[in-house]
């Protein structure tokens, strides 16, 4: 581009024989390659079509956009020619108008983004109704050909979205829990981020208080006794909305921690395996026994080659024994952990949730009944444990071998080696990954709406069935999307900050 501008400059200065060299400009911006030429042609076409279409749809806005675009392009080009950039044109020339193609793309995107924003604002604010009275809302919306959002449905159901059917007179229990957490969070943020408190007793106190929190949460949310200050509430009936979403997500991560650590250590364990002769001996005997007792009778009754082949299923035991020896060197702990982790990670969460609802009762002794909330919580924790185990395994792998050797060298026992040396470092390294997993779990809690628990999404679905707000679907969805977005985005930002603070990946 420079050449063209230099030429321009010469022309502007009125030098002898100066003329604008368009050839270089065209070469740089269009004919450099076939692809570029095609792209510019295509972009020009799209931009023209879009301008025409938008002029019909929204003349004033489009005129303003195209005008601003033209003006800013001119200003930038003039700035380039005269080498006198204002701060604005400098930024424009570097970020929006770097080349002809980029300039066209800017116009196209500008038109599209403004059209999308206009559409959204028109729907969400201009043509919207904010009245919680369904009749007023219907009247307000009826005056538009293309009515906007009916926010009354969300405002009217705000409490439902937050806590659903949690008894109104017991609301203080939730407020108390929130207060407790905030009161703990503020000093924790201060104490744990400062080096001064490294050896302070304050830390121990705070950790003990944090460990007490789940118990307090259980007492407040579930209650005990019937006549006391915190009567028992049936979670299947009274837990719902955002409350249930948070319970599931937090419980999932916290409860999966012990199992996750055990599984990750189990998968990496290098203890001496069961010797091959023992494995093959036991499985061999078992196979022969099963072949005699099941296969031969089955072969007699089998019809067709398929059934005959199926009858030889005991041979699969030998195959399993072979794989066990080949890949795990006879280490049963590693095998069990790996199989658990891979099976759970290989199937969708929804099948596991349905299992907890449908299969769980079959696997319990007859007569024992467990509330579906507890079943779903257990399923989520068992599911999260497999993913957590893989995250922690990543942390364990990041610990240099020297740390293990040093721990061995100073004579620590295996338990102490892991408790004092390995796990603190490994867990510190995977905190960001665990926060990431927590975000995933927070979003995945929506799936429990499919198995019949009324969490945030479940409440949103119910709103459209209320007689007052029949068919109102978009508004609650947008509202809870904002809740999820804020929650996940904030946590992701926290995780990034943590990553920097911990210096993960810098070692």
Partner 1 sequence: MAEFTPQVPKPDESVPFWRDLRVLGVLAQIAAIIAVVLGAAWLLNNVAANLVTLGESQFICQDGSSSFRCAFNFLRLDAQFDISETSIAYDPSDSYSRALLVGALNTIKVSFFGIILATVLGTVTGIARLSSNWLVSSVARWYVDIIRNTPLLLQLFFLFFGVILLLPPIREAIQPFGLPVYLSQRGFEMPGPVMMPSFRTWLFFILAGVVLAAVFSWLLGRIQQHQSGSVHRWLWPVLLFVAVAVGGWFFAMRSAADNQGLLATPESGIATFDDIAATVQARLGVDELRDLDELEASGVLTEDEILAAALSVCAVRDDPAEVNLTAQLRRANIPYTVSRNTTLDKTAADFTGGDCDVFVASQAELADIQSAQPELATGTLVPLAETPVRISVPRIEGLNFVGGIKMTPNFAAILIGLSVYTGAFIAEIVRAGIQSVSKGQTEAARALGLSESQRLWLIILPQALRVIIPPLTSQYLNLVKNSSLAIAVGYPDLWSTAFTTLNQSGRPIQVFLIVMGTYLSFSLLISAFLNWYNQRIAFVER
Neighbours of 441 (CB within 10 A): 23
Minimum distance from residue 275 beta carbon to partner 1 (Å) = 9
Q: Is 271 in the site for partner 1 (CB under 8 A)?
A: yes
Dihedral-angle region of residue 164 (phi above 0 means left; psi in -120 to 50 means alpha; beta otherwise): left
Site for partner 1 in 354-393 (CB under 8 A): 354-355, 358-359, 361-366
Contact predicate 492/439, CB 8 Å: yes
Smaller CB distance to partner 1: residue 365 or 402?
365
Minimum distance from residue 351 beta carbon to partner 1 (Å) = 6
Minimum distance from residue 140 beta carbon to partner 1 (Å) = 19
DSSP string, 354-401: HHHHHTHHHHSPTT----HHHHHHHHHHHHHHHHHHHHHHHHHHHS-H
Site for partner 1 in 450-489 (CB under 8 A): 450, 457, 460-461, 464, 473-474, 477-478, 480-481, 484-485, 488-489
Q: Is 213 in the site for partner 1 (CB under 8 A)?
A: no
DSSP string, 161-183: HHHTTS-GGGHHHHHHHHHHHHH
Q: Is 411 in the site for partner 1 (CB under 8 A)?
A: yes
Minimum distance from residue 464 beta carbon to partner 1 (Å) = 8
Q: Is 35 in the site for partner 1 (CB under 8 A)?
A: yes
Tokens of 226: 């019937």
The residues, any chain, with a CB within 8 Å of residue 233's CB and separated by 6 or more, are 166, 167, 170, 221, 222, 223, 239
| Residue that is written with structure tokens 């570097």 in the block | 94
Contact predicate 325/279, CB 8 Å: yes
Binding mask 64-93 for partner 1 (x = CB under 8 A): ------------------------------
Contact predicate 166/243, CB 8 Å: yes
Binding mask 37-56 for partner 1 (x = CB under 8 A): ------------x-------
Burial class (CB in 10 A: 0-12, 13-18, 19+), 267: buried
Tokens of 346: 């290989």
Q: Is 199 in the site for partner 1 (CB under 8 A)?
A: no
Tokens of 259: 């199992």
Tokens of 298: 């089955």
Minimum distance from residue 239 beta carbon to partner 1 (Å) = 19
Contact pick of 232, 343, 371, 420 for partner 1 (by CB under 8 A): 343
Minimum distance from residue 348 beta carbon to partner 1 (Å) = 4
d(CA 458, CA 476): 10
Dihedral-angle region of residue 64 (phi above 0 means left; psi in -120 to 50 means alpha; beta otherwise): alpha
Minimum distance from residue 128 beta carbon to partner 1 (Å) = 15
Q: Is 98 in the site for partner 1 (CB under 8 A)?
A: yes
Minimum distance from residue 332 beta carbon to partner 1 (Å) = 4
Minimum distance from residue 188 beta carbon to partner 1 (Å) = 25
Q: Kindly calculate the radius of gyration of the chain based on its CA atoms and give it in whole angstroms.
A: 33
Smaller CB distance to partner 1: residue 136 or 465?
465
Q: Is 443 in the site for partner 1 (CB under 8 A)?
A: yes
Contact pick of 30, 332, 412, 427 for partner 1 (by CB under 8 A): 332
Q: Is 346 in the site for partner 1 (CB under 8 A)?
A: yes
d(CA 434, CA 135): 48
Question: Would you tell me which residues interact with partner 1 (CB under 8 A)?
Answer: 33, 35, 49, 94-96, 98, 102, 105-106, 109-110, 113, 266, 271-274, 294, 298, 301, 331-333, 336, 343, 345-351, 354-355, 358-359, 361-366, 410-411, 414, 439, 443-447, 449-450, 457, 460-461, 464, 473-474, 477-478, 480-481, 484-485, 488-489, 492
């Amino acid at each position: 581009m420079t050449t063209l501008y230099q030429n321009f400059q010469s022309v502007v200065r009125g030098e002898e024989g100066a003329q604008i060299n368009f050839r270089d400009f065209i070469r740089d911006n269009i004919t450099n390659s076939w692809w570029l030429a095609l792209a510019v042609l295509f972009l020009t076409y799209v931009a023209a079509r879009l301008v025409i279409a938008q002029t019909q749809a929204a003349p004033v806005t489009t005129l303003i956009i195209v005008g601003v675009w033209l003006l800013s392009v001119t200003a930038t080009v003039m700035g380039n020619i005269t080498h006198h950039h204002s701060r604005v044109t400098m930024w424009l020339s570097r970020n929006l108008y770097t080349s002809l193609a980029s300039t066209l793309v800017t116009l196209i995107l500008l038109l599209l983004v403004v059209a999308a924003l206009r559409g959204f604002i028109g729907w969400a604010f201009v043509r919207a109704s904010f009245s919680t009275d369904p009749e007023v809302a219907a009247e307000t919306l009826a005056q538009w050909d293309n009515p906007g959002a009916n926010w009354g449905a969300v405002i009217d159901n705000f409490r439902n979205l937050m806590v659903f059917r949690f008894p109104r007179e017991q609301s203080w229990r939730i407020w108390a829990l929130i207060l407790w957490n905030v009161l703990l969070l503020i000093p924790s943020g201060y104490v744990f981020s400062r080096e001064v408190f490294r050896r302070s007793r304050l830390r121990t106190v705070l950790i003990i208080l944090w460990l007490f929190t789940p118990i307090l949460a259980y007492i407040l949310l579930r209650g005990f006794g019937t006549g006391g200050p915190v009567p028992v509430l049936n979670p299947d009936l009274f837990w719902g909305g955002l409350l249930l979403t948070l319970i599931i997500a937090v419980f999932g991560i916290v409860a999966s921690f012990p199992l996750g650590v055990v599984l990750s250590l189990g998968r990496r364990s290098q203890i001496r395996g069961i010797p091959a002769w023992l494995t093959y001996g036991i499985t061999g005997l078992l196979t022969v026994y099963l072949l005699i007792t099941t296969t031969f009778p089955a072969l007699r009754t089998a019809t067709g080659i398929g059934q005959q082949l199926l009858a030889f299923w005991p041979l699969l035991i030998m195959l399993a024994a072979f794989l066990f020896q080949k890949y795990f060197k006879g280490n049963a702990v590693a095998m069990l952990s790996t199989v658990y982790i891979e099976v759970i990670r290989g199937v969708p969460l929804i099948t596991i949730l349905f299992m907890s609802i449908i299969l769980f009762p079959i696997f319990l002794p007859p007569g024992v009944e467990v509330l579906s909330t507890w079943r779903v919580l257990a399923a989520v924790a068992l599911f999260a444990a497999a993913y957590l185990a893989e995250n922690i395994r990543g942390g364990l792998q990041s610990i240099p071998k020297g740390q293990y050797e040093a721990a061995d060298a100073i004579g620590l026992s295996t338990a102490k080696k892991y408790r004092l040396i390995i796990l603190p470092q490994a867990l510190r390294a995977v905190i960001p990954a665990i926060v990431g997993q927590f975000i995933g779990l927070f979003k995945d809690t929506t799936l429990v709406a499919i198995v019949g628990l009324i969490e945030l999404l479940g409440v949103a679905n119910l709103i459209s069935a209320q007689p007052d707000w029949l068919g109102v679907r978009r508004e609650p969805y947008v509202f809870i999307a904002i809740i999820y977005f804020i929650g996940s985005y904030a946590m992701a930002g926290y995780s990034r900050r943590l990553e920097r603070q911990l210096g993960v990946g810098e070692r």
